[in-house]
Each structure stands twice: as C-alpha cells, then as structure tokens.
Amino acid sequence: MTAPDVRAATCTVDGRPITLPQTGTESLWDVLEDHGVALPLGCASGHCGSCTVLLDGVPVPSCLVPHAEARGRSVATVATAADDALVAAMAEHGAVQCGFCSPGIVVTLSWLLRTTAAVGQPITADDVRNALTGHLCRCTGYTAVVQAAVSAASKISAASKAADR
C-alpha cells in the first residue's frame, strides 16, 4: 500500500499559478523552462547558483529541487525577487559583465537585504561574501558585487530608519 498523493500538482511562479507534472524526475528548473521561464543553467548540480530562485521566500538552486517539492509552494524568480536598490547599485558598480551569474546572485542578495538591512540589521562585506558562497562568477572577481550589495544595504537601512522616524 502506498500513501495516496492527494496534493494538487500546482505552484505559483512570480504570482502566476502553474501546473506541475504529476510524474517524472525533472527538476524545478526543467519545469520552469517548459513554462517559458528562462533561467541560466550552469552546473545542474547545485554548485554554481546561477539557477537560484526563492522557494516559499528562501533562496535555492532550482536545479536541486525535484518538481514535486514545489507543489503547493510559491516560486519567485529574479523577475519578482529582485531588489531595485541592489540592481541599481550593481549597474553603478559594474557588478554585471556577461550576466550569466547575475539572476541567481540578485535573487540571493536581494533576499539577504530584505532579511537584514530592511529590518535595520547592518550588513558587512563578509556577510555578503558568505551569502555569495555557492554563486560562481567567472567575470567580475566578486569585488564589485560585494561593493554593490554593501552600498545598497546602507541605502536601504537609511531609508528604513527614515521611515521609522
């Protein structure tokens, strides 16, 4: 006897409901692609971070997630998970070159900013470097990315302090 699968095979992607397959071994990345959601795919094994999305609000490489694990959950790609202040700071600091790694990095660092700077916690360059572990960038050497995130964090903290006053 096996347990019945009573769950509807659906999730939301950037707020839009989508139907997931009932069977099969594809990853969430594969299914997103089938639905026209194009994300970079580097290693397909969780090492490079390029395919990172938010699953129920938490960053994860979509290539590591069996599609069925997304049932009943919300998926946010860079299209809705990006923090505007971070994107602007990355452009300003030259933190995007070929751009292959950028969607994943933006998802993770936007999450970091939302869960720290936006609630008044300071962010150091080390915090950013730590968050970038598991994101490979072959072009920038990371320095500009770290500077951009720290700069965005200070703008976000200043804005949130001003709003609290």
Partner 1 sequence: MTRHVFPATWEQAGHAALDGDAVVVGGATSVQPWLTSTGAQPSVLVHLRDVAGARSVDGMAGRLRIGAMVPVADPALRPVFGGTEPVWFATPAVRRRATVVGNAVSPFGPREVVPVLAACGARLVVLAEGGTRSIDVTAVPPNGLEPGAVACAAELAVPERIAFRRVALRPRLSRTEIGVAAALGDGCGAAISVGVGGPTLVVEGAAEFLRDPAGSPGFAAACCSAAPDPVRQLVGGLAVRVHRALHEPGGRS
Binding region for ligand FES (CB under 6 A): 41-44, 46-51, 61, 63, 96-101, 137-140
141 binds, among ligand FAD, ligand FES, partner 1, none (CB under 5 to 8 A by kind): none
Partner interacting with residue 130 (select from ligand FES, partner 1, ligand FAD, none; CB below 5-8 Å by kind): partner 1
- Assess 163 for contact with partner 1 (CB under 8 A): no
The sign of the dihedral angle between the CA atoms of 77, 82, 87, 89 is negative
* CA pair distance 55, 83, nearest whole angstrom: 16
Q: How far apart are CA 13 and CA 37, in angstroms?
A: 9
Query: How far, in Å, CA of 157 to CA of 117, rounded?
Result: 5
Pick between residue 63 and residue 157 the one whose CB is nearest to ligand FES: 63
Cα separation, 93 vs 145, whole angstroms = 7
- Does 114 interact with ligand FAD (rule: CB under 6 A)? no
Q: How far apart are CA 18 and CA 152, in angstroms?
A: 33
Of residues 11-70, those binding partner 1 (CB under 8 A)? 22-25, 27, 44-47, 49, 52, 58-61, 63-66, 68-69
Is residue 110 a contact residue for partner 1 (CB under 8 A)?
no
Summary count for the chain: helices (H), strands (E)? 6, 5
Residue 47 makes contact with ligand FAD by CB under 6 A = yes
Q: Which amino acid is at 91?
A: A
Position 46 contacts ligand FAD (CB under 6 A): yes
Q: Does 160 bind partner 1 (CB under 8 A)?
A: no
Nearest CA among 82, 134, 126 for reference residue 107: 82
40 binds ligand FAD (CB under 6 A): no
Length, in residues, of the chain: 165
Contact call for residues 103 and 40 (beta carbons, < 8 A): yes
Report which residue's Cβ sits closest to ligand FAD.
Answer: 46
Contacting positions for partner 1 (CB under 8 A):
1-7, 22-25, 27, 44-47, 49, 52, 58-61, 63-66, 68-69, 71, 108, 130-131, 133-134
